[in-house]
Every structure is written in C-alpha cells, then in structure tokens.
Amino acid sequence: MQFEHIKTEFMGENGEILVVTLNRPEVMNAMNTKLLQEMVTLFREQSHNTSLRCVVLTGAGGKAFSAGGDLKERNGMSDEDWRKQHQLIEEKTRLVQNMPVPVIAAVEGYAFAGGCELALMADFIIASETAKFALKEVVRGILPGAAGPQNLARAIGVRRAKELIYTGREIDAHLAYEWGMVNRVVPQGKALEVALEIARQIVDSAPIAVRMAKTCLNHGETADFHTAYALEISAYNVLVSTEDRLEGVAAFNEKRKPQWKNR
C-alpha cells in the first residue's frame, strides 16, 4: 500500500521487520490529519500480519523524529475538528500500544509533544546523541495526549515527569538515558541502524514467546503482583504446548539455530 506521508519497508528473509518512517522532513515530520490516518490504516492492517515480528519507527531527514502535531494545520480548526483529529490520535496510540509484536522507536533529533508521545508508546527507544525530548503542550494551552503523561511517569518517575510536563522543558538523549526514558544512546545517524540490529535479534527469538512476553509486561505493569504473576503462568502454560517450544529445546541439544514455525 502506498502512502503520502509515511514510508514503509519490509526487511528480513520473509519481511519480518517493518520500518515505518514519518516522511514530512520539510516540517520536521509534524503529524497532520493525513499522516495520522495513514498510521491508523497501516497499524490496523499490520496487526494481523502473522509474518511480522518487529516494527521500527523513525523519522525522515535526520533533524527530527517528529516535532508533534502540525500546528499550522491546527491553526483555525474548530473545536469539533480538533476533537475529531484527537480521536484519530488516540486511535493511532491504541493501535501502536496493542501491536502484538515489539515496536522500537529510533529517534534522531527532535521528539517533541506528539512525537515524544509516539516514541514513548513504543516498547523502547534507541536515541541518537542528537535526540531531544519534550512534552510542550502546556505552553500551547493544552495537555499532552496519546498517553504521554502516563508513559513518561512510568519511564522516569512521576516527580520528574511533573517537572517536564509543567514546564515543557527539553532534555537531551544522555539525560533521557540517565532517567530511564531511552534504552541506548548511539552516535548521530546510527539510531535506525542499532534499532534494526535489535530487531534482528528479536526475529531470532521464538515469535509466540515474544508476543506473550509483551502481553505479560504491558498488562503486568498496571496490575498487582499476584494478578500479573497469574498472567505469566497462564502464558507460560500456553507456550508449553507449542511446536516452537519443542523446536527450541531440540535446537539447543542439536547445537543448531532453531527453525521457528510460529505455532
């Protein structure tokens, strides 16, 4: 499927890795209504792709992952149109959050407002040393959306999140790493490369086990310990009966790379 404002590329022997590039570099990949619609269409479609094992999100041009919502488009929007667009943003957010396979954000340059929120919704972030993060909505008279406050507080702690959200303060990649917001800081221009290296490692893991692990971690984060542990045990017992569990043990004993069947 061809899109106007995002680029897609499948990588790997069987297209197991999908690279999604926000492609409006002339406006620092600001997200307008059309781009949001395309993201919803893509993620809705790919959530049913049983060959897919990992998604990598990045931005075109190197200057920004995304500067957030397109404020030029929003200038003059009616309240009704603004709310309709934000419903689209929330739908996109839920689709990224509920993607059954891991999603990695590869961030070069600015990840502000909606761009920061999109990166935070990924399973984790690989940041170039040029990366800068901020939730700037309060300085424009609105509140960060797309689960930005919730994800930021869970990543760096509620007190640090309050400071960043109340002030719109920018932080660089190294402080974001120190605070636990990003997993790795890499040299300029290397965020996508490193994210793809990790994606290939994910592809080498058993696909059902990875999906189960994501489910347990995502839901366990907001559940009490005993509920989360019960979910883990249920997932574990499902995996015991899979062909991939048998293949994983056999491959270890035969000293070879496992051939996953995804069943």
The answer on 243 and 182 residing in a single domain is no
Task: Give yes or no for a contact between 133 and 170, defined as CB atoms under 8 angstroms apart.
Answer: yes
Buried b (16+ CB within 10 A) or exposed e, 91-107: bbbebbbebbbbbbbbb
Q: What's the average model confidence in pLDDT over 217-245?
A: 93
Final residue of a domain: which of 185, 204, 223? 204
What's the pLDDT tens digit per position in 54-101?
999 999 999 999 999 888 888 888 888 889 888 999 999 999 999 999
E strands, 146-199, are 171-172, 184-186
Asked, for residue 100, whether it belongs to a domain, the answer is yes
- The pLDDT score that the predictor gives to residue 72 is 86
What is the extent of the structural domain holding 195?
6-204
Domain count within the chain: 2
Q: What three-state secondary structure class fits 107?
A: strand
The answer on 42 and 23 residing in a single domain is yes
In angstroms, rounded to a whole number, what is the distance separating the alpha carbons of residues 28 and 189? 16
Instruction: Output the domain CATH number for residue 169.
Output: 3.90.226.10
The answer on 211 and 125 residing in a single domain is no
pLDDT at 145 exceeding the cut of 80: yes
Q: Which residues are catalytic?
A: 117, 137
Asked, for residue 246, whether it belongs to a domain, the answer is yes
pLDDT at 1 exceeding the cut of 80: no
pLDDT at 244 exceeding the cut of 80: yes
The answer on 135 and 114 residing in a single domain is yes
Task: Give yes or no for a contact between 64 and 26, defined as CB atoms under 8 angstroms apart.
Answer: no
pTM of the model: 0.94
The answer on 174 and 113 residing in a single domain is yes
The answer on 221 and 163 residing in a single domain is no
